């Protein structure tokens, strides 16, 4: 109970509560701007924390993370532009719901799923940190490889029909992931001597290009919306019946988000994809996925908000920043001369428990602020089409440029947009490609690292228990989806004589 | 958003310089505001280092310092920003080995040789470490094991093009251990592989493992400096353990070419002074930095020698042709 008293004191004697609200607002805007990732939104605020007291500054940074992971879903639903990597999976069904005039409901689901997910993650962080930290240590290079393979096994589920086309997209994604410095030898690959490509191509550039830019290219050919202003412009929350339906994807998001948050390099993006795919598999209405399923919005949004809390577990238990965002938070702690890791609880309990309490406030703040800003957001995107398209284009280009002030990045986004346009024309799905870009590096680098460690012995992937378990899961998932596809085909041919 | 950040930094710098006492009589620096460019993002290594340094440099030189983060391109963007800047002492680049490596690994328009080193201020000591449960008690233990069991050693380094990886490959060649040198994605993932026993030893900056050291999760086996470091006086260097391996991870400043002599002289005077400042000393010793002041002449030599060494190593590794 002492901990609660310490947390309460930390909250009430500092500026932590206003910081939580301010951080969430900043985070939502940062997350909603295409290109500004949660970690960049946090980094931009970091210099402001130099003069603040330690509790206020860590709460501020943690709240930006919470807000940004949620904020990414707003443009994903409204303008088919994932604001953050982790909101790419939300784009599919969120935008479909929007097209059917259910933008208000989609945003309501994403907000409530994110809120519940955030609180669930916080519970894991507060209660299970010590136990989960041991799980994080089980992940060796073979286990990371297997985790990546498990991630790839969802490609079939994301292909929306043709598995072959899904794999074409997935392989394209892998190819993009090979650009940059070779993960083992250090040889620059496909960089053509350009220093801008040494670090590889960030997945967000591919996503923004594929989704947003290709949508602009498609929309400019279409006639304006007939009655743009007549569409639903109010935020709606799911009713009780829908809530019951969303409980399962919400829970899947919770479990997947917890595991992905623990593993450095995994993070919200993979969590969101896995949660989306698993919800589809377990759903009673799998056919609705891809055509505006509310479950397809709830699952990824739940998962990526769980990660905002669980990603802090390796940082607070082992002192290891598992993600870019956690690294910024680490920076925030170091500036104040605080050491992260278990010592924080001993030496500066006010900061550790203050951060927990602050994250709780931040989740509530996210919900309240979401209530206020979403209705004007929906109104904003229901303006006449030419204005909206010009607005999105400006948003995309300026957002991407502002990350590194790099015109190369802007060029890459536009190029990805053109590629996306032709992929839509050929009906090749985007998501497997995004997954390939996100997972390619992780799969390749850990495969090669494992072989280095085992002197080229492939058995290493079956000898490591975690790796074996994950690979068996992946095999089971692939077999299951292949069988289901065959059954569906049989059923179809049975109906048409 | 970036201009916002910048404004705050200017504000902070101004506040700090107002709060401090005016510098004692020395020739006035030709600029009231000086921009310090770093390739690292706010809150990470070089950035925090610079911001801490200007707290002491500002009052010493009577200058408002502004930190500008020019990210991207492995430091090439930041180098270009300074190389194209005016050669009058109003803009500098915070150097680390990164800018030399980027030049060697790619063909940026402006490489490290487009800048002129001014001063070298610190070395980041590199240490070899392992988890506490490990049977190794010194670097020579670990190396002897690897020698007696060729191909069995598992050594970890941060990233594939890093100085740390080059150091371990050099160690391999020196000892004939043929250990697997496994590069990682930065640092976090490597520390996990040390803690769970996947790797025998890891190499990195002392600062990176300070948390794990404080909680007794890892132990130090040796330090890759010329002489022992003050933070760990009982930790023998690799040289003392019979292994001739020294890694020079420097931090300093470089500017556009052809800077006026009075500017260079001002820096060469100011730097040793702030290094002697007790408050700053407390900070940098806490950060595990080793002060090594070098003026322009020595810094130039250091840079040239470092670039030649790294080129040779990267060639031997087959990374560049």
> How far is residue B146's CA from residue A451's CA, in Å, rounded to a whole number?
18
Between residues A368 and A262, which one has the greater pLDDT? A368
Q: Specify the pLDDT at position A264.
A: 66
Helix A16-32, helix A54-71: angle, nearest 10:
30
Q: Give the mean model confidence (pLDDT) for residues A322-338.
A: 80
User: With an 8 Å Cβ cutoff, is A198 touching chain B?
Assistant: yes
**Whether A188 and B188 lie within 8 Å, measured CB to CB:** no
Q: According to the model, what pLDDT value does residue A154 have?
A: 77
Contact B43 A182 (CB under 8 A): no
Name the average pLDDT for chain B.
86
In this complex, which of A186, A194, A340 lies closest to B165 when CB atoms are compared?
A186
Please state whether the predicted TM-score (pTM) of the whole model is above 0.90. Answer: no
pLDDT at A99: 85
Predicted confidence (pLDDT) per residue in A475-492, tens digit: 988 887 777 777 777 766
The residue of chain B nearest to residue A409, with distances taken between CA atoms, is: B72
Assess A43–B contact: CB distance below 8 Å, yes or no: yes
Site of tokens 């730097």: B271
Q: Looking at residues A105-122, what average pLDDT do you find?
A: 93
Query: Which of A120-124, B15-19, B161-165 has the largest mean confidence?
Result: A120-124
Instruction: Give me the pLDDT at residue A1, please.
Output: 61
Distance from the Cα of B135 to chain A's closest Cα (Å) equals: 19
Q: How confident is the model at residue B232 (pLDDT cuts 50, 70, 90)?
A: very high
In this prediction, residue A230 carries a pLDDT of 46
pLDDT confidence tier of residue A493, bands split at 50, 70 and 90 = low
Asked if A267 contacts B189 with a C-beta cutoff of 8 angstroms, the reply is no
Give the mean pLDDT of A26-35.
Answer: 86
Residue A28, both tokens:
């939502």
Evaluate whether A248 touches A296 at the Cβ level (below 8 Å).
no
Which residue from B42, B182, B320 is facing A452, i.e. has the nearest CB? B182
For residue A185, the tally of other CB atoms under 10 A from its CB is 16
Which ipTM value was assigned to this complex? 0.80
Q: Do B214 and A328 touch (CB under 8 A)?
A: no
Q: How close, in Å, is residue A175 to chain B by CA atoms?
A: 19
Instruction: Categorize the per-residue pLDDT at A225 as very low, low, confident or very high, splitting at 50, 70 and 90.
Output: low
For residue B21, pLDDT over 70 is answered with no
pLDDT of B251 higher than 70: yes
- The confidence score (pLDDT) of residue A495 equals 47
Give the pLDDT confidence score for residue A407 in this predicted structure: 87
DSSP B51-65: HHHHHHHHHHHT-EE
Range A112-119 average pLDDT: 94
What are the CA-CA distances from residue B107 to residues A79, B24, B104, B309, B320 (Å)? Answer: 39, 45, 7, 18, 12
Percent of chain A having pLDDT more than 70? 94
- Burial of B311 (C-beta count, 10 Å sphere; 0-12/13-18/19+): middle
Beta-sheet pairing, B64-69 with B33-38: parallel
Distance CA A136, CA A396 (A): 36
Kindly state the helix (H) or strand (E) to which residue A307 belongs, with its residue range. helix A294-310
Give the residue, A398 or B264, on which the prediction is more confident: B264
Cβ-in-10-Å burial (0-12, 13-18, 19+) of B257 comes to exposed
Helix/strand/coil for B154: strand
A133 — contact with chain B (CB < 8 Å)? no
User: Span B185-196, mean pLDDT?
Assistant: 82
Mean pLDDT across A446-473? 92
| Minimum mean pLDDT range among A121-125, A268-272, A421-425, B193-197 | A268-272
Helix (H, G, I), strand (E, B) or coil at B124: coil
- Distance of residue A477 Cα from the nearest chain B Cα, in angstroms: 27
Residue of B3, B10, B41 to mutate when probing chain A, most A C-beta within 10 A: B41
pLDDT value for A382: 77
Portion 23-42 of A in contact with B at CB < 8 A: 36
Whole-number average pLDDT of chain A: 85
Domains of chain B with CATH codes: 2-123+249-316 (3.40.190.150), 126-241 (3.40.190.10)
Contact A405 B70 (CB under 8 A): yes
SS (H, E, C) A213-243: HHHHHHHCCCCCCCCHHHCCCCCCCCCHHHH
Of the candidate ranges A45-49, A60-64, B133-137, B200-204, the one whose mean pLDDT is the lowest: A45-49
Min Cα–Cα distance to chain B from A348, Å: 14
- Range A408-438 burial, b when 16+ CB lie within 10 A, else e: bbbebbbebbebbbebbeeebbbbbbbbbbb
The residues that bridge with B127 in the sheet, in sequence order, are B204, B223
B-chain CB neighbours of A402 within 8 Å are: 1-2
**pLDDT reported for residue B301:** 95
* pLDDT at site B27: 66
Q: Report residue A63's pLDDT band, with 50, 70 and 90 as the boundaries.
A: very high
Per-residue pLDDT, averaged over A32-48, amounts to 81
Q: pLDDT band for A494, please (50, 70, 90 cuts).
A: low
How do residues A66-76 score in pLDDT, each as one tens digit? 999 999 999 99
Q: Using CA atoms, how far apart are residues B163 and B160, in angstroms rounded to an integer? A: 9
| pLDDT at res. B7 | 47
pLDDT score for B14 = 47
Question: Is the pLDDT score of A14 beyond 60?
Answer: yes
Query: Does residue B281 have a pLDDT over 70?
Result: yes
Alpha carbon distance B72, B88 (integer Å): 25
pLDDT at A157 over 80: no
- Cα(A12)–Cα(B51) distance, integer angstroms: 30
Residue A89 has pLDDT above 80, yes or no: yes
Of A82-96, A173-187, A223-237, B256-270, the least confident? A223-237
State the pLDDT at residue B25.
Answer: 47
The DSSP 8-state label assigned to residue A209 in this structure reads: I
Q: Mean of the pLDDT values across residues B199-215?
A: 87
Confidence class of residue A420 from pLDDT cuts 50, 70 and 90? very high
Q: Is A128 on the interface with B (CB under 8 A)?
A: no
Return the pLDDT at A161.
67
Looking at the complex, report in whole angstroms how far the Cα of residue A476 sits from the nearest Cα belonging to chain B: 28
C-alpha span between B51 and B10 (Å, rounded): 11
**Residue A38 pLDDT:** 87
Q: Given CB atoms, is A130 within the 8 Å cutoff of chain B?
A: no
Q: Is the pLDDT of residue A206 over 60?
A: yes
The length of chain B, given as a count of residues: 321
A4: which 2 tokens? 């609660």
| pLDDT band at A369; cut points 50, 70, 90 | very high
Q: How confident is the model at residue A171 (pLDDT cuts 50, 70, 90)?
A: very high
Mean pLDDT, residues B64-86 taken together: 87
Query: CB distance B105–A186 less than 8 Å?
Result: yes
* A:B CB pairs within 8 Å: 166
CB contact under 8 A, B192 and A320: yes
Q: Chain A: give the shortest CA distance to residue B260, in Å.
A: 30
* φ, ψ at B86 (rounded to 5°): -70, 140
């Amino acid at each position: 109970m002492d901990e609660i008293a310490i947390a309460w004191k930390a909250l009430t004697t500092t500026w932590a509560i206003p910081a939580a609200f301010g951080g969430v607002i900043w985070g939502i805007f940062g997350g909603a701007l295409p290109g500004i990732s949660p970690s960049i939104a946090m980094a931009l605020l970091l210099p402001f924390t130099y003069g603040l007291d330690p509790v206020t500054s860590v709460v501020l940074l943690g709240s930006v993370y919470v807000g940004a992971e949620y904020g990414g879903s707003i443009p994903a639903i409204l303008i088919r532009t994932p604001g953050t990597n982790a909101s790419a999976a939300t784009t599919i069904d969120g935008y479909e719901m929007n097209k059917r005039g259910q933008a208000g409901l989609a945003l309501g689901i994403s907000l409530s799923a994110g809120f519940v997910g955030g609180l669930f993650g916080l519970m894991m962080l507060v209660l299970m940190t010590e136990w989960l930290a041991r799980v994080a240590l089980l992940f060796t290079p073979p286990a990371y490889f297997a985790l990546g393979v498990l991630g790839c096994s969802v490609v079939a589920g994301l292909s929306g029909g043709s598995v072959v086309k899904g794999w074409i997209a997935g392989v394209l994604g892998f190819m993009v992931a090979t650009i940059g410095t070779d993960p083992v030898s250090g040889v620059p690959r496909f960089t053509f001597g350009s220093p801008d490509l040494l670090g590889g191509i960030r997945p967000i550039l591919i996503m923004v290009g594929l989704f947003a830019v290709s949508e602009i290219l498609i929309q400019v050919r279409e006639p304006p919306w007939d009655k743009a202003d007549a569409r639903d412009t109010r935020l709606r929350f799911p009713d009780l019946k829908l809530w019951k339906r969303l409980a399962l994807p919400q829970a899947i998001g919770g479990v997947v988000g917890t595991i992905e948050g623990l593993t450095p390099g995994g993070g919200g993006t993979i969590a969101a994809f896995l949660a989306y795919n698993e919800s589809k598999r377990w759903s009673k209405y799998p056919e609705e996925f891809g055509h505006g399923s509310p479950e397809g919005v709830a699952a990824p949004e739940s998962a990526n908000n769980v990660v905002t809390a669980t990603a802090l577990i390796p940082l607070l238990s082992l002192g290891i920043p598992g993600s870019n965002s956690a690294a910024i938070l680490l920076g925030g702690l170091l500036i104040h001369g605080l050491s992260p890791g278990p010592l924080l609880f001993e030496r500066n309990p006010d900061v550790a428990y203050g951060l927990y309490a602050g994250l709780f406030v931040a989740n509530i703040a996210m919900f309240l602020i979401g209530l206020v800003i979403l209705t004007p957001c929906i109104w904003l995107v229901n303006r006449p089409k030419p204005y909206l398209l010009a607005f999105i284009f400006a948003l995309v280009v300026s957002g991407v440029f502002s990350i590194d002030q790099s015109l190369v990045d802007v060029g890459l986004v536009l190029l990805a947009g053109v590629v996306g346009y032709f992929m839509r024309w050929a009906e090749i799905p985007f998501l497997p490609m995004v997954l390939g870009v996100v997972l390619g590096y992780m799969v390749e680098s850990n495969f090669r690292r494992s072989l280095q460690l085992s002197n080229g012995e492939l058995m290493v992937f079956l000898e490591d228990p975690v790796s074996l378990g994950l690979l068996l899961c992946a095999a089971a998932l692939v077999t299951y989806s292949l069988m289901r596809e065959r059954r569906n085909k049989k059923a179809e041919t049975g109906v048409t004589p | 958003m970036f201009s916002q950040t910048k404004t705050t930094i200017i504000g902070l710098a101004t506040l700090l310089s107002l709060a401090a006492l005016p510098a004692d009589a020395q020739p006035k620096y030709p600029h009231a505001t000086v921009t310090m460019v770093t390739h690292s993002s706010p809150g990470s290594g070089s950035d925090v280092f610079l911001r801490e340094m200007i707290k002491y440099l500002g009052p010493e030189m009577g200058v408002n310092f502004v930190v500008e983060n020019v990210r991207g391109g492995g430091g090439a963007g930041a180098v270009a920003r300074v190389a194209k800047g005016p050669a009058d002492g109003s803009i500098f680049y915070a150097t680390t080995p990164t800018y030399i490596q980027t030049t060697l690994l790619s063909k940026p328009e402006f490489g490290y040789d487009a800048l002129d080193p001014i001063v070298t201020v610190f070395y980041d000591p590199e240490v070899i470490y392992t988890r506490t449960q490990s049977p190794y008690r010194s670097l020579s233990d670990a190396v002897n094991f690897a020698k007696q069991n060729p191909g069995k050693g598992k050594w970890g380094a941060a990233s594939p093009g890093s100085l740390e990886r080059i150091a371990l490959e050099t160690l391999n060649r020196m000892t004939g251990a043929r250990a697997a040198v496994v590069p990682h994605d930065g640092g976090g993932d490597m520390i996990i592989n040390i803690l769970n026993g996947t790797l025998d030893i890891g190499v990195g900056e002392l600062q990176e493992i300070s948390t794990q050291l404080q909680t007794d999760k890892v132990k130090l086996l040796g330090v890759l400096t010329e002489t022992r470091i003050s933070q760990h006086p009982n930790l023998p260097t690799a040289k003392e353990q019979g292994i001739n391996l020294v890694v020079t991870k420097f931090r300093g400043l470089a500017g556009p070419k052809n800077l006026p002599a009075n500017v260079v002289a001002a820096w060469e005077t100011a730097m040793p002074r702030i290094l002697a400042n007790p408050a700053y000393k407390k900070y940098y010793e806490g950060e595990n930095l080793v002060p090594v002041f070098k003026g322009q002449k020595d810094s130039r030599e250091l840079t040239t020698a470092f670039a030649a060494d790294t080129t040779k190593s990267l060639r031997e590794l087959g990374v560049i042709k």
